[in-house]
Structure 1
Amino acid sequence: MKNRIISVDIFRGLTIVLMILVNTPGTWSHVYAPLLHAKWHGYTPTDLVFPFFLFIVGTSIAFAYQNKTASSATYRKIIVRSLKLIGLGLFLGAFMISFPFIKDFESIRFPGVLQRIGVVFFFAAILFMNFNWKTLIGICFTFLVGYWLLMTYVPVEGVASTFDRAPNNLANYLDVKIFGTHNYKSDYDPEGFLSTLPSIATSLLGIFTGLILTSKREKKEMVLLGLGVVMLILGYLWDIIFPINKALWSSSFVLVTAGWANIFLGLIYYFSDVRDVKFGSIFKYVGANAITIYFLSSFISKIMGQIKVGETSLHGWLFQNVYTHDFMTLELPSLLYGLTVVGFYMILAYIMYKKKIFIKV
């Protein structure tokens, strides 16, 4: 785009920063409650982070493919990018630092964050290339309502379905049947098979926001804020019969998280693009290499967790010897450790941006 929308870059970078922060505490046994996922139903600020990224994937699709023709070359690029993301995710799940450098096949997790981003990007981009916004609204509605109907009315081996973490939860049941031991947990995966359907809807909602931002309409920030409030209301109403749940990526969760995404993006848009207030540049730098920064943070964190230092890992040794002090409860040093990690990657993103290093995945 000629007139680049700064708020989208800031929002993308801020989302990656939050993803790194919630993924790398000093110790998982001591984390402030807002930086943990909800145990099952409901949501915390942490539960907003991943749907925010899928939402902004959709917004970016609207920017990148709005004037593209549905050609074989375009489809090839979409497919290649999707496969790269899925491949990087599988690599993260399988890698270990000791020979043979790959986990036992049975213990490799197949679903994952990057895998979901790749799959969602593929379907959202293909749908955007082939249908107008009105049809996309219908598809999004069908995905959300269809998922609710499946989860509500399809029995599991003769037992009425439930939304609880139980064997007769349809999403959990399919994850175990399809992925077996390759799930995040033994009985479900938060990036599982069936919940991919509503996660595509999250990205489609981001596409609608992208179309609003690229339109010539006035007061776009008010449109986003109003849209966000409406989505929040609808999401909370739907929560009555289909609980807000990140692990299931419930339809109510899709609406609530997209509502917050529109509100936050609308506010950032107002200050950065309308009022031209200079802020958030460091997040823009992170957003310019979003997937690269996220992948590096996950990969290095995994390595630090596998390098042994005495009876603990390098990660554990640093936390215990540098951050832990008697005068602090463990939640604070755990947070400080995460903030240090975030600071490191923000500096790296800044250096990459200034040196014009942009790695496209």
Structure 2
Amino acid sequence: MKQRLVSLDVLRGLTMILMTIVNNPGDWEHVYAPLLHAEWHGCTPTDLVFPTFLFIVGVSVVLASAPNVSDQIILQRIVTRTLRIFCLGLFLSFFSRIQFAGLEDAALLAFRLAITAVVVVALFGNYDRKLQFWVAIALFTIMLILAFGGFEDFKTVRIPGVLQRIAIVYLIVSLLYWRTGWVTQAIVGVSVLLIYWAIMTLIPVPGIGEPNFEKGTNLAAWLDNFLLPGHLWATSKTWDPEGILSTLPAIGTGIAGLLAGALLKSNLEKPRKAFYLFVAGLAGVLIGFIWSFVFPLNKALWTSSFVLYAAGWALICLSILFYVIDIKGFKSWTAYFVMFGVNPMVVFFFSGIIIRLLNVVKITNPAKPSEQMNLVPYFYQYQIVPRFESPYNASLVYALLYLLIWSVILVVLWRRRLVFKV
């Protein structure tokens, strides 16, 4: 078993913890500003969560590479993992739309849970690699047929998503690392950022006119709606924050991780590695900020300036953690964060499933006994809100309670040494 880099696990854990908090407030109308995404242009700490995870994907590709493995096995592993991650993301979109023979309430919930169990075994299970490959292809094909085959329940199911983007970025950076050196990777990384900037600033938007960076009228939004009409983010319906064109610069985020991983794996002395990571991070933040004056920082568009700015902060954080943990040896405080860091897919996938499950459960509305309400808003409105004067504090406490639930789950997995890989 390879020696894990504790600082990287801690950074991944911190990222997952922040993701859990920002994705699960009690009330979206009352959230402290740093725990919200920027309305459009700009960048908050919350906006840094996803790019940090993609950056870590790139680092992990390098550190997890195994020598003396045949090309066929490497390619099969890359494709299988890509399909498994993509399918997990697709299933989150499909879950709430699953119907069968007119089932309702508890029966429908049980049926959805049964399907989820099959998917979990198929995509998280550790069995024969060739079988994993064909099972992933089968699930991927089935879901695409359901989405595009004219089935009423799935005709507007969302196709893009966070896990889907992670899968695509993982695929590209893994192939790059497999077949190229760090110089080529750096050239590709810079090229995708410049190409995306040129596409977004020089190509007119069909049916709209001049290139622009505005919500819903930019070229990325047009391409999303042109290629995947009806299969986009439910909030916007006509564009997607994890859309097609904006995945191009997201590859640049993964490549930044590749380059950081190459530095960490080099023969340089550890203090020098930490120094170079920190300097590269400062450079990324500065260049990204300067570039933002002409190409604004924007997570939804994943602008090239945002890639550099976010990767810069990820590098700075990793350099500090690497220095403190792996060089100075201060590790006694890290266990809680490592618990989240070694099982990220479990946290992300089941967080989505749990919320969807709880939203199915109904309970009598105390204010209107003749009506039913979902369990989650009931618990928040009647068990948490009355205990706090500030609705912002109540909303934050709900998110922290949800984090506590996950902490308990992960403690159990940790003590049993259970790590689930996709």
**Offset at 1:107?**
2.7
Instruction: Tell me which residue corresponds to 2:39.
Output: 39
Give, in angstroms, the shift of residue 166 of structure 1.
Answer: 3.6
**1:2 Cα shift?**
5.1
Question: Once the 2 structures are TM-superposed, how far is the Cα of residue 308 of structure 1 from its aligned partner?
Answer: 2.1
Q: Secondary structure at the match of 1:244?
A: coil
Structure 1 residue 231 corresponds to structure 2 residue 280: no
1:59–1:208 CA contact under 8 A, matched in 2 = yes
Look up the match of 2:55: 55
C-alpha deviation, 1:18, in angstroms: 1.1
Q: Does the aligned pair in 2 maintain the 1:70–1:130 contact within 8 Å?
A: no
Q: Is 1:264 equivalent to 2:325 in the alignment?
A: no
Q: Which residue of 2 aligns with 1:163?
A: 213
Matches within 5 A, 1:214-293: 214-218=265-269, 219=271, 220-278=273-331, 279-293=333-347
Instruction: Tell me by how many angstroms 1:97 deviates.
Output: 7.7
Report the Cα offset of residue 187 of structure 1. Answer: 2.6
Q: Give the direction of change, closer, same or farther, for the CA distance of 1:41–1:66 in structure 2 (3 Å limit).
A: farther
Is the CA contact (8 Å cut-off) linking 2:10 and 2:337 kept in structure 1? Answer: yes
Tell me the C-alpha RMSD between the 2 structures.
1.7
In 1, Cα distance between the equivalents of 2:165 and 2:70? Answer: 23
Q: Structure 1 stretch 252-261 or stretch 306-315: which is displaced more?
A: 306-315
Give the conservation status (yes or no) of the 8 Å contact 2:173–2:251.
Answer: yes
Q: Which amino acid aligns with 1:235?
A: G
For this pair of structures, how many residues does the alignment match? 360
Which whole-Å CA distance do the structure 2 matches of 1:128 and 1:68 have between them? 15
Alignment pair present for 1:304 and 2:355? no
Q: In the TM superposition, what is the alpha-carbon distance from 1:245 to its structure 2 partner?
A: 0.2
Letter paired with 1:204? I
SS at structure 1 position matched to 2:155? helix
- 1:29 aligned partner: 29
The residue aligned with 1:331 is 392
Q: Which residue of 1 aligns with 2:8?
A: 8
Contact 1:97-1:303 within 8 A present in 2 as well: no
1:204 matched residue in structure 2: 255
| Whole-Å separation in 1 of the counterparts to 2:224 and 2:378 | 36
Where does residue 182 of structure 2 map in the other structure?
133
Distance 1:302 1:68 in 2: 43
1:144 paired residue among 187, 193, 196: 193
CA distance in 2, matches of 1:98, 1:150: 38
Q: Where does residue 375 of structure 2 map in the other structure?
A: 314
Question: What's the CA shift string for 1:114-154, capped at 9, x where partnerless?
Answer: 11111111111011101000000000011000000000001
Question: Which whole-Å deviations, capped at 9, do the CAs of 1:140-182 have from their partners, x for residues lacking one?
Answer: 0110000000000011126111011142x11010011111111
1:29 is paired with a residue whose SS is: coil
Give the distance between the partners of 2:249 and 2:97, measured in 1 at CA.
35
Using the TM superposition, name which of 134-143 and 2-11 deviates more: 2-11
Residue 349 of structure 2 is matched in structure 1 by: 295
User: Following TM superposition, by how much is the alpha carbon of 1:289 offset from its aligned partner in structure 2, in angstroms?
Assistant: 1.0
Find the residue that maps to 1:181 and give its secondary structure.
Answer: coil
Contact 1:286 1:350 in 2 (8 A): no
**Contact conserved, 1:97 with 1:306, CA < 8 A, in 2?**
no
What whole-Å deviation, never above 9, does each CA across 1:84-117 have from its counterpart, x for those lacking one?
1111111101112873359822331110111111
**Structure 1, unaligned runs of 5 or more:** none
Structure number with greater Rg is: 2
- The alignment status of 1:213 with 2:267, answered yes or no, reads no
Compare 140-149 and 210-219 and name the one that shifted more: 210-219
TM-score between the two structures when normalised by the length of structure 1: 0.96
Letter in structure 1 aligned against 2:353 = F
Alpha-carbon distance in structure 2 between the residues aligned to 1:19 and 1:50: 8
Separation of aligned partners in 1, 2:206 and 2:348 = 40
Distance of aligned partners of 1:121 and 1:68 in 2 relative to their CA distance in 1, 3 Å threshold: farther
Range with greater deviation from structure 2 (302-311 or 346-355): 302-311
Whole-Å separation in 2 of the counterparts to 1:66 and 1:235: 34
Q: Give the deviation of 1:217 after TM superposition.
A: 1.2
- Residue 415 (structure 2) aligns with: 354
TM-score normalised per structure 2 = 0.82
* 1:188 shift after superposition: 1.4
Please report how far the alpha carbon of residue 67 of structure 1 lies from its aligned counterpart in structure 2 after TM superposition: 3.4
Amino acid at match of 1:213: L
Secondary structure in structure 2 of the residue aligned to 1:309: strand
More moved, 140-149 vs 185-194 = 185-194
